Amino acid sequence: MTPELERPVDDAPPDREPLPWPDQDLAAVRRYLRFLGAARHEIDDLAQEVLLAAVRSFGTAVPPLPWLLVTARHALQAQLRRLGRRREVADLDRLAAAWSVQMGDDGGAERRAALAQCLHSLPERSRLVVELRYRDGWSRDAIAARTGLGVEGVKSLLDRVRRVLGECIERRTRHD
C-alpha cells in the first residue's frame, strides 16, 4: 500500500522536498567507473545515467551503494556495446570481481543494523516523526499537522534526532 493511501483522508499530500544525494556515494560511483576503464569525459554522462536509474527505481529514497555500483557497471557495458567494443565488455566482470576483493566490506550492513536498533530505542514521538519524514516522505508542515507540533518544532526535533541517531550508530559500530 502506498503512503498516500495510508494517510488520513483530511491530510493533504505533503510537499516533497528533494533529499540530498550522498556525495560519498556519487564519488564512489565515479571512482568505480574510472576503475572499470571509463574515459574521464564519459564518467559524468554515465554517473548521470546511474542517478536517473536510481530516481526511477527508488524515488526520493537513496539506493544502497552496491545497487549503484552494479547499475554503473551495466551502464558502462551498454555504452561499450553501442560502441562495438566487445572485448572491453567481457573484461568488466573480471574487473568488477577485482574491485570487490580490493574494496572489501564497506560496513553498510553493519551501519544499517545499528540504525534499526537505534531507531527502535527512540521515544515513540521521535520515531514517528523520523518515519513520516524519511520513510514516507512527508513535509514538515504535514508532520506538524499530524503530530500537533509547530513546523519549527518538527525541524528542531528532526535535528536532535539525527544527531542522536548519528551518535548511537557510531557507538554501535565503533571497533576500538
- For cell 558502462, what's the residue? 76
pLDDT for residue 94: 61
> 162 pLDDT exceeds 60?
yes
pLDDT for residue 164: 93
pTM: 0.44
Nearest Cα residue to 33 out of 73, 78, 80: 73
The upper half-sphere exposure of residue 61, i.e. CA atoms within 13 Å in the direction of its Cβ, equals: 11
Q: Between 23-35 and 65-82, two packed helices, what is the crossing angle to 10 degrees?
A: 40
N- to C-terminal Cα separation, the chain: 43
- Whether residue 36 contacts residue 76, with contact meaning beta carbons closer than 8 Å, is answered with yes
- Per-residue pLDDT of 107-159, as tens digits, reads 566 777 888 899 999 999 999 999 888 878 889 999 999 999 999 999 999 99
The per-type count for the chain, helices as H runs and strands as E runs, is 9, 0
Q: How far apart are alpha carbons 168 and 171 in whole angstroms?
A: 5
Average pLDDT, the chain: 77
- Per-residue pLDDT of 25-40, as tens digits, reads 888 888 888 888 888 8
pLDDT for residue 78: 86
State which fold the 109-173 domain adopts.
Arc Repressor Mutant, subunit A (1.10.10)
Instruction: Enter the DSSP assignment of 62.
Output: P
- Per-residue pLDDT of 58-102, as tens digits, reads 887 778 888 888 899 889 888 888 877 555 545 655 666 665 555
Q: How far apart are alpha carbons 120 and 125 in whole angstroms?
A: 12
